[in-house]
A and B are shown apart, each in its own frame.
Chain A
Amino acid sequence: KQEVTQIPAALSVPEGENLVLNCSFTDSAIYNLQWFRQDPGKGLTSLLLIQSSQREQTSGRLNASLDKSSGRSTLYIAASQPGDSATYLCAVSSSTNAGKSTFGDGTTLTVKP
């Protein structure tokens, strides 16, 4: 059974700082890994998707890496801004079905002005 863990559960940083969010998973036989952003009381916004054959994906100030063999992914946020404050969720798809995912409990990020 796949288990996904995100550390830390909460993180508070001053504006402008670079930061890393961590995600680990127990079963390395994944199909893809996806990072989402969730604002309070809102839905999910997909940030980056990494296929199992890829090592990283980049979008603007965000960079996600994937190390399947060690069961780890990181989300790097450069030059953080108060607007980045949200909960970040990591989701792993562990079958040939791209839609069935196991989610971590998230990291709640607060960026202080």
Chain B
Amino acid sequence: NAGVMQNPRHLVRRRGQEARLRCSPMKGHSHVYWYRQLPEEGLKFMVYLQKENIIDESGMPKERFSAEFPKEGPSILRIQQVVRGDSAAYFCASSLAGTGEGAFFGQGTRLTVV
């Protein structure tokens, strides 16, 4: 049973480009969470999705950021028109909600905006 898979592991984008980060949850998990870790800081919750639904996006910036978790395929975090302040590590986690076993985290995607 593979863990949470994120790709790419490292992503470099120029200012103004789009960044697409992918997350495949653990097998059998239908709940996906995205977190952002700015340099020298802890992880901050961004969004919680279930298949085809955004459940909680209270941590998402109001503009340029969007997330989806389609019926088939990985969850995608999309950042349009990236700026240098978007440079961070983006972590995805998945869980079986309500089981109490906690969430399993991927290795993260490190986005660098140049």
**Contact for B100 among A4, A32, A43, CB less than 8 A:** A32
List the A residue with the shortest CB-CB distance to B55: A97
Is A97 within 8 A of B98, CB to CB?
yes
Q: Which residues of A contact B100 (CB under 8 A)?
A: 31-32, 51, 98
Is B43 within 8 A of A103, CB to CB?
yes
Q: A32 CA to B97 CA in the complex, in Å?
A: 12
Q: Which residues of B contact A49 (CB under 8 A)?
A: 101-102
Residues 92-114 of B, flagged 1 when their CB comes within 8 A of A and 0 if not, give 01111111111111111010000
Q: A27 CA to B7 CA in the complex, in Å?
A: 34
Which size bracket describes the interface of B in this complex?
Answer: 20 to 34
User: Shortest CB–CB separation between residue A65 and chain B, in angstroms?
Assistant: 17
User: Shortest CB–CB separation between residue B11 and chain A, in angstroms?
Assistant: 14
A105 on the B face (CB < 8 A): yes
Q: Which residues of B contact A91 (CB under 8 A)?
A: 43
Is B105 within 8 A of A43, CB to CB?
yes
Is A46 within 8 A of B33, CB to CB?
no
Question: 16 A-B pairs, CB-CB below 8 angstroms?
Answer: A32-B100, A43-B91, A44-B43, A44-B105, A46-B105, A49-B102, A89-B42, A91-B43, A97-B48, A97-B98, A98-B96, A98-B99, A99-B48, A103-B35, A105-B41, A105-B42
